[in-house]
Protein backbone atom coordinates (compact mmCIF):
# COMPACT_ATOMS: atom_id res chain seq x y z
CA UNK A 1 0.00 0.00 0.00
CA UNK A 2 1.46 3.35 -1.05
CA UNK A 3 0.41 6.24 1.20
CA UNK A 4 1.65 9.79 1.33
CA UNK A 5 1.26 13.39 2.41
CA UNK A 6 1.08 16.62 0.44
CA UNK A 7 2.63 19.53 2.37
CA UNK A 8 1.48 22.87 0.96
CA UNK A 9 2.07 26.59 1.43
CA UNK A 10 -1.33 28.23 0.92
CA UNK A 11 -1.86 31.95 0.64
CA UNK A 12 -4.86 33.11 2.59
CA UNK A 13 -8.00 33.47 0.48
CA UNK A 14 -6.42 32.45 -2.84
CA UNK A 15 -8.42 29.28 -3.35
CA UNK A 16 -7.73 28.68 -7.02
CA UNK A 17 -3.98 29.18 -6.67
CA UNK A 18 -3.84 27.04 -3.54
CA UNK A 19 -5.73 24.19 -5.18
CA UNK A 20 -3.65 24.44 -8.37
CA UNK A 21 -0.43 24.27 -6.34
CA UNK A 22 -1.65 21.23 -4.43
CA UNK A 23 -2.69 19.44 -7.61
CA UNK A 24 0.73 20.16 -9.14
CA UNK A 25 2.35 18.33 -6.21
CA UNK A 26 -0.14 15.48 -6.47
CA UNK A 27 0.68 14.99 -10.15
CA UNK A 28 4.30 14.24 -9.22
CA UNK A 29 3.47 10.93 -7.50
CA UNK A 30 1.43 7.75 -7.74
CA UNK A 31 -0.19 6.50 -4.56
CA UNK A 32 -3.13 4.59 -3.11
CA UNK A 33 -3.79 7.37 -0.56
CA UNK A 34 -2.71 11.00 -0.29
CA UNK A 35 -3.47 13.26 2.68
CA UNK A 36 -3.59 17.06 2.34
CA UNK A 37 -3.48 19.67 5.12
CA UNK A 38 -6.32 21.16 7.12
CA UNK A 39 -8.04 24.03 5.27
CA UNK A 40 -5.56 23.53 2.43
CA UNK A 41 -7.51 25.56 -0.13
CA UNK A 42 -8.24 28.69 1.90
CA UNK A 43 -5.53 29.28 4.46
CA UNK A 44 -6.18 29.06 8.18
CA UNK A 45 -6.29 32.31 10.14
CA UNK A 46 -9.73 33.81 9.45
CA UNK A 47 -10.22 37.26 11.00
CA UNK A 48 -13.95 36.75 11.55
CA UNK A 49 -16.84 34.39 10.97
CA UNK A 50 -18.09 36.72 8.25
CA UNK A 51 -14.80 36.28 6.39
CA UNK A 52 -14.91 32.52 6.90
CA UNK A 53 -18.38 32.24 5.37
CA UNK A 54 -17.06 33.66 2.07
CA UNK A 55 -14.79 30.65 1.63
CA UNK A 56 -16.96 27.79 2.88
CA UNK A 57 -18.35 25.09 0.59
CA UNK A 58 -21.00 22.44 0.88
CA UNK A 59 -19.87 18.82 0.86
CA UNK A 60 -20.04 17.00 -1.54
CA UNK A 61 -21.62 19.66 -3.76
CA UNK A 62 -18.77 22.16 -3.46
CA UNK A 63 -16.25 22.73 -6.24
CA UNK A 64 -13.26 21.49 -4.24
CA UNK A 65 -14.86 18.17 -3.33
CA UNK A 66 -16.07 17.66 -6.89
CA UNK A 67 -12.59 18.36 -8.23
CA UNK A 68 -11.05 15.77 -5.92
CA UNK A 69 -13.74 13.21 -6.73
CA UNK A 70 -12.70 13.56 -10.36
CA UNK A 71 -9.01 13.42 -9.43
CA UNK A 72 -9.53 10.32 -7.28
CA UNK A 73 -11.22 8.48 -10.14
CA UNK A 74 -8.60 9.63 -12.63
CA UNK A 75 -5.58 8.65 -10.51
CA UNK A 76 -7.24 5.65 -8.83
CA UNK A 77 -6.13 7.19 -5.55
CA UNK A 78 -7.95 7.96 -2.30
CA UNK A 79 -7.67 11.48 -0.88
CA UNK A 80 -8.19 13.03 2.53
CA UNK A 81 -8.49 16.82 2.29
CA UNK A 82 -9.22 19.57 4.81
CA UNK A 83 -11.72 22.26 3.80
CA UNK A 84 -14.07 24.84 5.33
CA UNK A 85 -17.60 23.44 5.18
CA UNK A 86 -20.99 25.15 5.36
CA UNK A 87 -24.04 23.19 6.40
CA UNK A 88 -27.46 24.53 7.44
CA UNK A 89 -26.08 27.93 8.42
CA UNK A 90 -23.16 26.48 10.37
CA UNK A 91 -19.45 26.46 9.51
CA UNK A 92 -17.24 23.45 10.20
CA UNK A 93 -13.54 22.75 9.97
CA UNK A 94 -13.93 19.50 8.04
CA UNK A 95 -11.98 16.62 6.57
CA UNK A 96 -13.22 14.76 3.51
CA UNK A 97 -12.20 11.21 2.61
CA UNK A 98 -12.75 10.47 -1.07
CA UNK A 99 -12.33 6.90 -2.31
CA UNK A 100 -10.96 6.00 -5.76
CA UNK A 101 -14.56 5.21 -6.74
CA UNK A 102 -15.61 8.73 -5.78
CA UNK A 103 -17.45 7.89 -2.56
CA UNK A 104 -17.32 10.68 0.03
CA UNK A 105 -16.97 10.37 3.83
CA UNK A 106 -16.93 13.30 6.24
CA UNK A 107 -15.49 14.26 9.62
CA UNK A 108 -15.86 17.62 11.39
CA UNK A 109 -13.20 18.80 13.81
CA UNK A 110 -14.20 18.08 17.41
CA UNK A 111 -11.45 19.88 19.34
CA UNK A 112 -11.21 23.46 18.08
CA UNK A 113 -7.86 25.17 18.59
CA UNK A 114 -7.20 28.73 19.76
CA UNK A 115 -9.43 31.29 18.00
CA UNK A 116 -11.15 28.67 15.83
CA UNK A 117 -13.73 28.34 18.59
CA UNK A 118 -14.92 31.89 17.91
CA UNK A 119 -15.61 31.37 14.20
CA UNK A 120 -16.23 27.65 13.59
CA UNK A 121 -18.97 25.46 14.98
CA UNK A 122 -17.79 22.48 17.00
CA UNK A 123 -17.81 19.20 15.12
CA UNK A 124 -20.96 17.11 15.51
CA UNK A 125 -19.90 13.83 13.88
CA UNK A 126 -18.43 10.97 15.88
CA UNK A 127 -15.00 9.51 15.16
CA UNK A 128 -15.57 6.74 12.61
CA UNK A 129 -13.50 4.18 10.72
CA UNK A 130 -14.44 4.05 7.04
CA UNK A 131 -13.75 1.29 4.50
CA UNK A 132 -10.31 1.61 2.90
CA UNK A 133 -9.66 -1.22 0.46
CA UNK A 134 -9.81 -4.29 2.76
CA UNK A 135 -8.90 -2.16 5.79
CA UNK A 136 -10.39 0.84 7.60
CA UNK A 137 -9.39 4.51 7.69
CA UNK A 138 -10.01 7.09 10.39
CA UNK A 139 -9.73 10.87 10.35
CA UNK A 140 -8.89 13.51 12.91
CA UNK A 141 -7.88 17.12 12.38
CA UNK A 142 -4.87 18.96 13.82
CA UNK A 143 -5.46 19.67 17.56
CA UNK A 144 -7.47 16.45 17.92
CA UNK A 145 -4.10 14.71 18.21
CA UNK A 146 -3.44 16.05 21.71
CA UNK A 147 -6.44 14.12 23.05
CA UNK A 148 -5.41 10.44 23.10
CA UNK A 149 -9.06 9.44 23.28
CA UNK A 150 -9.50 10.45 19.62
CA UNK A 151 -7.00 7.93 18.24
CA UNK A 152 -8.08 5.29 20.73
CA UNK A 153 -11.73 5.53 19.68
CA UNK A 154 -10.69 5.27 16.03
CA UNK A 155 -8.60 2.19 16.83
CA UNK A 156 -11.46 0.62 18.79
CA UNK A 157 -13.68 1.18 15.76
CA UNK A 158 -11.22 -0.67 13.58
CA UNK A 159 -9.05 2.04 12.02
CA UNK A 160 -5.78 0.66 10.65
CA UNK A 161 -4.56 4.05 9.52
CA UNK A 162 -5.41 7.53 10.83
CA UNK A 163 -5.24 10.47 8.45
CA UNK A 164 -4.44 13.75 10.15
CA UNK A 165 -4.86 16.95 8.09
CA UNK A 166 -3.21 19.72 10.10
CA UNK A 167 -2.17 23.36 10.34
CA UNK A 168 0.25 22.96 13.24
CA UNK A 169 1.80 25.92 15.04
CA UNK A 170 2.93 24.18 18.25
CA UNK A 171 5.94 21.88 18.36
CA UNK A 172 4.34 18.89 20.06
CA UNK A 173 2.59 16.96 17.32
CA UNK A 174 5.55 15.46 15.51
CA UNK A 175 6.76 13.85 18.74
CA UNK A 176 3.25 12.88 19.86
CA UNK A 177 2.01 11.01 16.79
CA UNK A 178 4.57 8.20 17.12
CA UNK A 179 3.14 7.64 20.61
CA UNK A 180 -0.39 7.48 19.19
CA UNK A 181 0.86 4.83 16.77
CA UNK A 182 2.47 2.79 19.56
CA UNK A 183 -0.56 3.07 21.87
CA UNK A 184 -2.90 1.71 19.22
CA UNK A 185 -0.59 -0.08 16.77
CA UNK A 186 -1.85 1.97 13.85
CA UNK A 187 -0.25 3.89 11.02
CA UNK A 188 -0.68 7.66 10.89
CA UNK A 189 -0.27 10.27 8.16
CA UNK A 190 0.03 13.88 9.33
CA UNK A 191 -0.19 16.41 6.49
CA UNK A 192 0.87 19.84 7.71
CA UNK A 193 1.46 23.14 5.93
CA UNK A 194 4.30 25.66 5.88
CA UNK A 195 4.35 29.44 5.69
CA UNK A 196 2.31 31.85 7.80
CA UNK A 197 -1.04 33.65 8.08
CA UNK A 198 -1.43 37.14 9.53
CA UNK A 199 -4.44 38.90 11.02
CA UNK A 200 -3.77 42.45 12.19
CA UNK A 201 -0.66 42.40 14.36
CA UNK A 202 -0.75 38.63 14.93
CA UNK A 203 1.06 36.11 12.75
CA UNK A 204 0.79 32.34 12.99
CA UNK A 205 3.77 30.40 11.66
CA UNK A 206 3.24 26.80 10.65
CA UNK A 207 5.75 24.08 11.46
CA UNK A 208 5.72 21.84 8.39
CA UNK A 209 7.37 18.46 9.07
CA UNK A 210 4.52 16.38 7.69
CA UNK A 211 5.18 12.74 8.49
CA UNK A 212 4.12 9.10 8.31
CA UNK A 213 4.46 6.83 11.35
CA UNK A 214 4.22 3.05 11.63
CA UNK A 215 2.77 0.79 14.31
CA UNK A 216 6.05 0.78 16.25
CA UNK A 217 6.25 4.57 16.35
CA UNK A 218 8.92 4.86 13.69
CA UNK A 219 8.82 7.98 11.52
CA UNK A 220 9.00 6.51 8.03
CA UNK A 221 9.36 9.84 6.23
CA UNK A 222 9.22 13.48 7.32
CA UNK A 223 9.14 16.72 5.33
CA UNK A 224 11.14 19.86 6.06
CA UNK A 225 9.98 22.92 7.97
CA UNK A 226 9.83 25.54 5.25
CA UNK A 227 8.97 24.22 1.78
CA UNK A 228 6.06 22.46 0.08
CA UNK A 229 6.68 18.76 -0.35
CA UNK A 230 5.10 15.49 -1.35
CA UNK A 231 6.21 12.04 -0.23
CA UNK A 232 4.90 8.51 -0.61
CA UNK A 233 5.86 5.44 1.39
CA UNK A 234 5.08 1.74 1.01
CA UNK A 235 3.44 0.38 4.16
CA UNK A 236 2.03 -3.00 5.16
CA UNK A 237 -1.33 -2.39 6.82
CA UNK A 238 -1.49 -6.02 7.92
CA UNK A 239 0.86 -5.03 10.76
CA UNK A 240 -1.93 -2.90 12.25
CA UNK A 241 -4.07 -6.02 12.73
CA UNK A 242 -1.62 -7.36 15.31
CA UNK A 243 -2.35 -5.67 18.66
CA UNK A 244 -0.03 -7.81 20.80
CA UNK A 245 3.30 -6.17 21.73
CA UNK A 246 4.20 -9.38 23.63
CA UNK A 247 2.85 -12.92 23.44
CA UNK A 248 0.83 -12.30 26.61
CA UNK A 249 -0.47 -8.74 26.08
CA UNK A 250 -3.15 -7.30 23.83
CA UNK A 251 -3.46 -3.50 23.67
CA UNK A 252 -7.20 -3.70 23.13
CA UNK A 253 -8.26 -6.72 25.20
CA UNK A 254 -6.10 -5.78 28.21
CA UNK A 255 -7.90 -2.48 28.75
CA UNK A 256 -9.75 -2.03 32.06
CA UNK A 257 -12.59 0.41 31.26
CA UNK A 258 -14.06 -0.05 34.74
CA UNK A 259 -11.07 1.93 36.05
CA UNK A 260 -11.49 4.79 33.55
CA UNK A 261 -14.75 6.34 34.81
CA UNK A 262 -13.29 9.85 34.80
CA UNK A 263 -12.95 9.71 31.03
CA UNK A 264 -16.73 9.73 30.77
CA UNK A 265 -17.25 12.90 32.82
- pLDDT tens column, 73-97: 999 999 999 999 999 999 999 999 9
Map out the domains of the chain as residue ranges: 2-264
User: Residue 263: what pLDDT?
Assistant: 87
Domain at 2-264, CATH homologous superfamily: Carbon-nitrogen hydrolase (3.60.110.10)
To the question of pTM greater than 0.75 for the whole model, the response is: yes
Among the listed residues 207, 182, 183, 179, the one whose alpha carbon sits nearest the alpha carbon of residue 194: 207
Q: Under the phi-then-psi rule, with left for phi > 0, alpha for psi from -120 to 50, and beta for the rest, what region is 175?
A: alpha
Q: Tell me how far apart the terminal alpha carbons of the chain are, to the nearest angstrom.
A: 39
Using 50, 70 and 90 to split pLDDT, how confident is the model at 265?
Answer: confident
Which residues have a catalytic role annotated?
Answer: 38, 109, 142
For 176-193, write each residue's pLDDT tens digit. 999 999 999 999 999 999
| CA gap 110, 116 in Å, rounded | 11
Amino acid sequence: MRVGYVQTKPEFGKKKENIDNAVALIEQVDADLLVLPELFSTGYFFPSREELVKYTEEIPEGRTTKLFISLARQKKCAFVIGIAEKKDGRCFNSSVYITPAGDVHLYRKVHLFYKEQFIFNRGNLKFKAFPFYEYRLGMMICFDYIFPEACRVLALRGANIVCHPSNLVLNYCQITMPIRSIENRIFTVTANRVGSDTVGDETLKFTGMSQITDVDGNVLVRAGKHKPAVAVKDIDLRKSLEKMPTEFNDLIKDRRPDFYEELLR
